[in-house]
């Protein structure tokens, strides 16, 4: 399962949590909630979700680098 937790700019949890197995579906859910306002962030999110989906399919663990 891929889990996406949205955080505010100051690092606090915004309360948005998305779960699923499809990078594309999760990406669309996040965009639907208008949680991404910068195109570079949208591109990064898509890339990270794709990495997470590939890890899920291969049975590997994936944790996003929060730096």
pLDDT in tens, 18-31: 999 999 999 999 99
Please give the model's pTM, rounded to 2 decimal places: 0.87
d(CA 11, CA 44): 17
- Give the confidence band of 64 by pLDDT, cuts at 50, 70, 90: confident
Asked if residues 16 and 7 have their Cβ atoms less than 8 Å apart, the reply is no
In a domain, 63, yes or no: no
**Domain extent for 38:** 2-58
In a domain, 26, yes or no: yes
In a domain, 45, yes or no: yes
3-state secondary structure of 18: strand
Q: What is the total count of domains within the chain?
A: 1
Phi/psi at 65 (nearest 5 deg)? -70, 120
CA 42 to chain centre: 10
């Amino acid at each position: 399962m891929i889990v996406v937790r949205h955080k505010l700019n100051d690092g606090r949890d915004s309360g948005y949590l998305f779960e699923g197995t499809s990078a594309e579906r999760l990406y669309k859910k996040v965009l639907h909630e208008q949680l991404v306002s910068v195109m570079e962030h949208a591109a990064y999110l898509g890339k990270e979700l794709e990495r997470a989906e590939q890890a899920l399919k291969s049975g590997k663990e994936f944790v996003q680098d929060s730096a």
